[in-house]
Amino acid sequence: MKKPIFTGSGVALVTPFSEKGVNFEKIGELIEFHITHKTDALIICGTTGEKSTLSVPEHKDVLRFCAERVNGRIPIIAGTGGNDTNASVALSQYAEYVGYDGLLLVTPYYNKATQKGLCVHYGTIAENTKLPIILYNVPSRTGVAISLDTLKYLDEKYENINAIKEASGDVAFAAKIKAHTNLCVYSGNDDVTVPIMALGGQGVISVVANILPEETHNMCELVASGRLDEANKIYLGMLDVMDAMFFEVNPIPVKTAMNLLGFEVGGFRLPLCEMEEKNVARLEDALRNYGLLQ
């Protein structure tokens, strides 16, 4: 297995907004919150961070700000993927320049790609940065899945293609990746973190860790140390909150939950919009049942 960029709970950090744009003061507060509450790594400008509606200057500003604020205290991973290979190369090189520990590269969406195209896309980025790369397989959002043969090829050909964020929801596919490649495997869905880690996965890139960072860290730590019964107690207790994070498309529920809990992370960039009232009520029930709301 290749050396992991991190083990345990990596939070897919939200991007807070104000009426003026990105709320950098709030990002700083969130970074300190996560470091204090045992989050093992920060993933900046991923799907949960609304990367697709950040302008290029905003994206760079957020990457630079977070690198400077973290200052090497925990690993930081930059979401620099997209459906334009050259743009992804440029952002990846910028992330390397400002001091990131790794990259998260989603499969190209809308224009999609053949498996050959994925090989060339990822290979081009890998050849233009020294940073370790986490591939991001999330076919429900991008319309294209990375095949096992493609993963085997990329793993063997590129030393810095290091890992996969596996978000297809198919635990059997995660097992095949562990069996047939040297890639580290991170769960891309909170609700299969324990099963994937029990198969030898290195952790999770988590949405729910935005509101339950210490619990997510503890769960991962317990699995890694072989204490599955204790890990499952945390995992099963969190399951309804994990599910609530996807009552609507991510990151609408998690940002709504954070605002309900007093984090004041602001709203969304269109086409994302405010959560429907019936779903807010369901979300509040899940948070209340867990003990996060009165």
- Supply 144's token pair: 């294209």
Calpha distance 190→208 (Å, rounded): 7
Q: Which of 122, 136, 186, 235 is catalytic?
A: 136
Tokens 């233009």 belong to residue:
128
Calpha distance 202→220 (Å, rounded): 9
Q: For residue 107, which of 147, 144, 148, 140 has the smallest C-alpha distance?
A: 144
- Supply 64's token pair: 């630079």
Q: Tell me which DSSP letter residue 38 carries.
A: T
Beta carbons of 171 and 195 less than 8 angstroms apart: yes
Calpha distance 61→159 (Å, rounded): 29
Q: Is 165 a catalytic residue?
A: yes
Q: Is 158 a catalytic residue?
A: no
Q: Which of 26, 165, 178, 255 is catalytic?
A: 165
Residues with catalytic roles:
136, 165
